[in-house]
Each structure stands twice: as C-alpha cells, then as structure tokens.
A and B are shown apart, each in its own frame.
Chain A
Amino acid sequence: MATVRLSFSPAPVHVRTARLVGVAVARRAGVREDLLDEVRLAIGEACTRAVALHHQYGLPDPVLVEMSDSGAYSVRVVDRAPIEAGLGLAALNADELANEALTDEALTTGVGFALLAGFVEDLQVRPVAEGVGTEVRMVWPVGR
C-alpha cells in the first residue's frame, strides 16, 4: 500500500509540487541525502512526461503519483495515455541531439528519458495493470 498518494490535474505548474512531495517522502523514508537531488529530478521527469502525454492526447484525467517506503523507496507515476505513446522512449546521442530536423518535443522526450535512465538504477516503464496508460516505476534504496 502506498504511503503517500498524490493526484494532480495535468498542468505543468503542479509538477513542482509533485517533486517537493516526492523528495519530502524520500527523506522521511530514509533515502540517502546525496540521492535526493536525483530523486527530485527523476520524479520531475516522470511527471513532466505524464503531463506532456495527457496534453498530447487531450486527456483531462489526473496524473497519479504513489510513493511507498515498504523495504525501499518506490515511486509510481501513472498516466492515462495510449500505451504505444508511452513506451516509445529512447535516449538520443550527441549527433541526434544537434540535428536541426529534430523537433523540440522529440528532443525533450529523448533528454527526459536519458535523465530517467541515467539517474534511476531500478527503473521500469510498463503498461498499467488495469485500463489504459503506462506507469513509470522507480525504486531507491533506503539507508536504514
């Protein structure tokens, strides 16, 4: 069961709130201080990705963030966009990043995924168990 559950309308202004809550719960759960910047960035990226997908598909549904500290600190960020949109993630190399033809959206998506993959050792992106959508699941060890 989640320790803290946060549900927010898919607006950019709320992503900061999700980051603040996510870091506060991580600290409380016992995640090492030197990992908190990465937790903050990763939760922000996962929520930014969810908000972008909801905008892309015109979905007013809330984005769900669940934080749990049973054993380790795990965070699930759940969107309601069609699965094929959510799973198409790939990091870009330097040549691709500098390519004039790359759209801003594709660049931001690729960079966001590189940050998630780079900062979260235990990362999964998968379809939600029920209904439409994907979940980004991130786990960090707790130092207890």
Chain B
Amino acid sequence: MELSLATRTVGEHTVLEVGGEVDVYTAPRLRERLLELIDGGARRVVVDLGRVDFLDSTGLGVLVGALKRLRSAGGSFALVCDKEPLLKIFRITALDQVFPLHPTVDAAIAADPTVSGA
C-alpha cells in the first residue's frame, strides 16, 4: 500500500497520521512532511503509526531524526503504536527506549512532559 500522510491539530499538538508502507522509497516523503511541520513551527508532534503496515530501518531513521530535531528545539515527539509486529521492531532495535510509545493519541498527549499543567 502507498504511503499516506494526514495532519490534524489536537490542542497544542500536531498529529501526523501515517498509513501504508514506510520504506527506503517512501521514507523521504515522511521526512519532508515532518520537516515542513517543524519548520512551520510545530513543536509538539505526535506521529500516529496506527495504519502503518510496513516500517523499515529507513523509516525508523526518519522518526529518530524528527525526535532529535524537536528535542533540541525544546519540543516533544511521541509515537502512537499498538500493533505487536511494529512494537517488536521497536524492541529489537532498542528504539523502544528512545521513543515515547503510546497506544493512543490521547495517551501520547496526556503523557507529554512539555505541556503546561500536565
């Protein structure tokens, strides 16, 4: 399935819904979109991987890039993922210790330490 990208705003958060296959061919489009969002001023970004059915090392590299960029800008970055095959990928690569991973968008937003009053 082709990559799909849709953005919505939830309070102070920008939620990027990703679907389809994120691989060496499509990952550059995900990188571009994340850069557009960050360059456009988004500082609290949640990437929802709920509709992703394939994710490879290139896609993971793009997500780590966004995490580092936002952290150095004083922002936050979190992932939403509740599919076991994808979670296994995060565990095997040790990236489950790098990304905040949440089962739902609401949980990701509620757990954001940069939100005032959270």
Contact = CB atoms under 8 A, between A and B. Distances in A.
Interface residues of A, number: 30
Interface of A: 12-13, 15-16, 19, 37, 40-41, 44-45, 48, 51-52, 91-94, 97-98, 100, 104, 107-109, 111-112, 114-115, 118-119
B25 A104 contact: no
B116 interface: no
A139 to B, nearest CB: 19
Q: Is the interface of A mostly helix, strand, loop or mixed?
A: helix
B99 to A, nearest CB: 10
Nearest to A108: B61
A92 B21 contact: no
B87 interface: no
Interface stretch (B33-41, B50-58, B103-111): B50-58
Q: Is the interface of B mostly helix, strand, loop or mixed?
A: helix
A98 B93 CA distance: 12
A108 B98 CA distance: 14
Q: Which of A37, A107, A118 has the most CB of B within 10 A?
A: A107
A51 B94 contact: no
